[in-house]
Structure 1
């Protein structure tokens, strides 16, 4: 296991997304040497970015996962599914991910890689509640359809509700150039999550991609959903929250976007609707611009 790509594939199973100690090791030593240190095949020494205590804690954290490491098996599994694994050295690697404080070590993908991932100026995230209202679904659908007709790739997380409506409507509005829509998952791509959206995921992959920083076989966790949101925010030039409750994962994505200096939009709703409370919260905090349709979003992107 002596190449950067295979080492990075192994590290996506060994390190949690956003593992600051792991990323610091890779930055200092390179992926292959970092892997050797992490599995105990090479001595570990603290350095400027990592204290002895932090390194010891990280080695303890990684130890239970060492036995299950088989990067070649993971790479073969994703290839059987018609996908692959991207590293920062690949031409299709989304350069926008370098804006993150904790960028992914690699990206597992399934689908049509021909056009890669469009630059943020050509991508809009359309996200929101899983238990969307008819109003929210209608707005998300019209918005995503209009964006796709303008050649803008719609990014979401494949969830029920707003996400699924955005993906479906982008597919319906696709003009045939580049990916219609991209789904960023919080688990391994061997099983589409939620399972009820497996057919939708397959349709997305015809022109676009399903992406994850986690290797095949990884079951989604709450933490991984929150970490996944930073990828959505980084890939999109604007993140639009269509519906969200006061405490919502969609707001987490919006805050990531704001921290990255990306545009954030939100759709106003009824003051009586709990599903719009999060959008109104973004307006009150001054972190989102009011948007009502695809034209507003395209204007923010421009």
Structure 2
């Protein structure tokens, strides 16, 4: 119980990219690391953390301490019909353990009884928020085909490609396991974007929405980028359907490549700026070219 409460606290205290916090947890464990930060345990020297880095980190974390109340956050998520997963739990997605910066825990809302499928039964679809009609149609086809095969579709609940992927997965669901999993960039006490609230409710009824951020946390640009690694970690293959030359979807693909997961991309028109990022991945050899859900399922099975 101490580990669960500590990890809940750390999701509010440490940023995902905070290397000092991660080193502290890696050395001491979550509970002792939290006691160091709160001053309940004396600070001492560590082999993999310099005294200077630790002192700077303690100053950085200090303003956040008054807002750290893991019991409150756990009560809030329970009131919302959700929960908090930590490594070792029955439903903890072990694919996240492949990440060098795995989340300290995972807040969730939805139907946890169906569990979270292993990476070889999950495919991530991601891409532009301002998707074209072509991108929307291809996404719907791929997501529906995957769902019909019992493959869970993972995406980010954003407008555009993400939303089309979630909706088509729900429509194609066979009822075998969660149809789709959405990874949010903020706390699960509110749906973001608010325009996808109905979609979020449908996902919770037939799948899961997860986040490494505790309730009431606002989504930020950095948190959107950080959640890309969770999308990649949950899925055995990450497919970029439409993406501009510089796109958050390419960041998700990079995370997948970093942990040796399959990366795929859908080609588009050479005249479309929305496909420039996909063509870049294919040209650089970073992604396999796919055109439908069947090819993506074959890649997932390989």
Common fold by TM > 0.5: yes
Query: CA–CA distance in 1 between the matches of 2:223 and 2:43?
Result: 27
Query: CA–CA distance in 2 between the matches of 1:115 and 1:90?
Result: 14
Map 1:1-302; keep pairs closer than 5 Å: 3-302=2-301
Query: CA–CA distance in 1 between the matches of 2:155 and 2:240?
Result: 11
Cα distance, 1:250 vs structure 2? 0.2
Query: CA–CA distance in 2 between the matches of 1:98 and 1:45?
Result: 28
Asked whether the 8 Å contact 1:19–1:102 carries over to 2, the reply is no
Query: CA–CA distance in 1 between the matches of 2:102 and 2:137?
Result: 34
Cα distance, 1:192 vs structure 2? 1.0
Deviates more, 1:44-53 or 1:196-205: 44-53
How many aligned positions are there? 301
Cα distance, 1:115 vs structure 2? 2.0
Unaligned runs of 5+ in 1: none
Query: CA–CA distance in 2 between the matches of 1:284 and 1:56?
Result: 45
Q: Where in structure 1 do 4 or more consecutive aligned residues deviate above 2 Å?
A: none
Residues 20-49 of structure 1, C-alpha deviation per residue, up to 9 Å, x if partnerless?
211221222121111110122222223122
Query: CA–CA distance in 1 between the matches of 2:2 and 2:143?
Result: 40
What secondary structure, in the 3-state scheme, does the structure 2 residue paired with 1:225 have?
A: helix
Cα distance, 1:64 vs structure 2? 0.4
Cα distance, 1:196 vs structure 2? 0.5
Residues 213-245 of structure 1, C-alpha deviation per residue, up to 9 Å, x if partnerless?
010000011111111000001110000000000
Residues 81-110 of structure 1, C-alpha deviation per residue, up to 9 Å, x if partnerless?
100000102110011111011110000000
Unaligned runs of 5+ in 2: none
What secondary structure, in the 3-state scheme, does the structure 1 residue paired with 2:201 have?
A: helix
What secondary structure, in the 3-state scheme, does the structure 2 residue paired with 1:183 have?
A: strand
What secondary structure, in the 3-state scheme, does the structure 1 residue paired with 2:274 have?
A: helix
Residues 230-277 of structure 1, C-alpha deviation per residue, up to 9 Å, x if partnerless?
000111000000000000000000011011100011000001100000
